[in-house]
Structure 1
Amino acid sequence: MLRRLAVLAVLLGVVFAAVELLPGDAASSTSERGESAADLAARRTALGLDRPLAERFWDWMTALPTGDLGTSARGEPVTRLLAGPFPNTLLLGGLALAVSLAGALALGSWAALRPGGRADRVIGVVATMAFALPEFVVAIALLLVLSLWLGWLPAVTLIGPDGAPASPGMLLLPLLALAVPQIGWNTRIVRAALTDQAALPHVGAAIIDGLPRHRVLTHHLLPGALPAVAVGVATSAGMLLGGAVVVETLFNYPGVGAVLAGAIADRDTPVVAGVVAATGGAISVVLLLADLVRARTVGERL
């Protein structure tokens, strides 16, 4: 956890520097038409842009442990700005992660129980193709087929009074757009992990003893493959939260994607850093859970 916190701190420093290198600044990007040079100078002073970058970064980082993510260029606390969109992003990412895991376990197990067969070959090719497709390509394909051509699902997300999607059906397209590539990624991991387990002596003994395929899978293959699967799922969490920014924008989903896009346009460093800190913290928690699963499994074997 200390190593990951250190990496996150370095990443936040890079974010501050990257926004600083963009043309313009938060004062000019959020200014009203007709503001004079004196007004812009006053705004820069009010936003602290006249201070050195290192000093602003240090002040922001020292306030971070208290939950203070700073104030946006438009005067709104970043914590309040993310209070609504970030849970929506976590909901979408969590559902996509669950669908990815379920699909990968089903397909990877099906392929591993029939090594070298037609199903194994087809699943391997389809999984590779799915993982190779970026989320925005999958999203556009789903929009064309399921929304424009077939009319089964809405093309955009309508937002309800509480700031969440107006109906559960509006989650399906962004959910599938995120989950399909990760199903491909995790299917390959599950297939490889189960194949490694199948070569172990106790699995061969179970097969010789005449145990049914499903019992061999659930009692001998999957428990040993769990650490590798956990690492793959944890990696998917980072990919899902990163891909969610693009997918949310395409489907007008009320997550942090729109907030981040607006913050970059405004050169609003505290908001961009706040999004990175929130998503980085969520990914670190998932990675910690994966480490605990792996450590527990290894400990039980010993």
Structure 2
Amino acid sequence: MSLVRFVWPAVRRLALLTVLLATVFAAVSLLPGDAATATSERGESATDLAARRAALGLDRPLAERFWDWLAGLPTGDLGTSAHGRPVTALLAAPFPNTLLLGGLALLLSVTGALALGSWAALRPGGRVDRAVATAATAAFALPEFVVSVALLLVLSLWTGWLPAVTLTGPDGAPASWRMLVLPLLALTIPQIGWNTRIVRGALADQASLPHVQAAILDGLPRHRVLTHHVLPGALPAIAVGTATSAGMLLGGAVVVETLFNYPGIGAVLAGAVADRDTPLVAGVVAATGAAISTLLLAADLIRDRTLGVRA
């Protein structure tokens, strides 16, 4: 039964990812122009453009091009970009940088949310609880680009404490850890707000259960009730919220990386859209979609295992 519960969500998420990739192909094809004209050089004739379209396969039906591209995914082949380079090679350096930034932001946001949510849960309805709820709502309501601009003004332009842009080293990674701080904060602050709301809500749901109320009536200290009775039961909801947060982080990374010149997939995606480079856009979506789907599956497993143990 546990195998079925694992396979079915995996198949469902795979189907959703396939639909998303088909939508990406269709959306790029609806943009004005195509990859042949976007990557052409000045002075090219109509014959040259026609030859380029044929070389890129743009003269074939969209469904046929999508099917051919999709058939290469099981072998890790993401196709060839409009500039003639393999998409996997173009993503080899920036995608790990994005995973590093997103992973650190996820770690910081979940750690901060657990601390803030647990602190607020120790005194439900009190001043700390209300202050944490207000701050979390305000943080989550701020878009990443607003947070980025504010951080640039305060920590870079006005004080000069941190660099405003990211320079890369010989390996294609950020040249200094200080260049990670601003994009990391820009991603983390809104997600701390989101995750704090998730944690506080999950803890509140668990705190109302009979066995928790019994532990309180037995005179157990609040922190022990929280760590031994409330938090374990809240883990499935927190895990699902964390996986959802990972998807929002990768989405927000596109904006943040562009603002801070961070060497991630944000710049790659922006250039791919400008060039109408369908395989490269789809490759970025496939890579990020696979990462998010893996986290969501892990959250489902944690939830099922926790609920199974409690049952």
Cα contact 2:122–2:223 (8 A) shared by 1? no
Amino acid in the other structure paired with 2:130: R
Amino acid in the other structure paired with 2:262: Y
Amino acid in the other structure paired with 1:128: T
| CA displacement 1:253-302 (0-9 Å, x = unmatched) | 00000000000000000000000000000000000110011011101101
Residues 1:24 and 2:33 aligned together: yes
Amino acid in the other structure paired with 1:255: G
Amino acid in the other structure paired with 2:204: T
In the other structure, the counterpart of 2:293 is 284
Residues 1:157 and 2:177 aligned together: no
Amino acid in the other structure paired with 1:20: S
1:61 to 48, 64, 70: 70
* Cα distance, 1:210 vs structure 2: 2.6
1:185-264 equivalences under 5 Å are: 185-264=194-273
Amino acid in the other structure paired with 1:157: T
2:143 to 130, 134, 149: 134
| CA–CA separation in structure 2 for the residues paired with 1:222 and 1:178 | 26
The 3-state SS of whatever aligns with 1:31 is coil
| CA–CA separation in structure 2 for the residues paired with 1:195 and 1:275 | 38
* Cα distance, 1:146 vs structure 2: 1.1
Residues 1:7 and 2:16 aligned together: yes
* Cα distance, 1:213 vs structure 2: 2.2
What is the aligned residue count?
A: 302
| CA displacement 1:70-122 (0-9 Å, x = unmatched) | 00010100000000000000111111111110011011111111111111111
Amino acid in the other structure paired with 1:113: L
* Cα distance, 1:252 vs structure 2: 0.4
Q: Which runs of 5+ in 1 are unaligned?
A: none
| CA–CA separation in structure 1 for the residues paired with 2:67 and 2:279 | 12
| CA displacement 1:115-166 (0-9 Å, x = unmatched) | 1111111111110111111111111111111111122111111111100001
TM-score, normalising length from structure 2? 0.96
* Cα distance, 1:21 vs structure 2: 0.5
In the other structure, the counterpart of 1:46 is 55
Amino acid in the other structure paired with 1:181: P
* Cα distance, 1:211 vs structure 2: 2.2
| CA–CA separation in structure 2 for the residues paired with 1:222 and 1:170 | 35
In the other structure, the counterpart of 2:4 is none
| CA–CA separation in structure 2 for the residues paired with 1:63 and 1:193 | 42
| CA–CA separation in structure 2 for the residues paired with 1:202 and 1:262 | 56
| CA–CA separation in structure 2 for the residues paired with 1:198 and 1:222 | 9
1:98 to 98, 101, 107: 107
| CA–CA separation in structure 1 for the residues paired with 2:150 and 2:82 | 37
In the other structure, the counterpart of 1:35 is 44
* Cα distance, 1:215 vs structure 2: 1.6
* Cα distance, 1:207 vs structure 2: 2.1
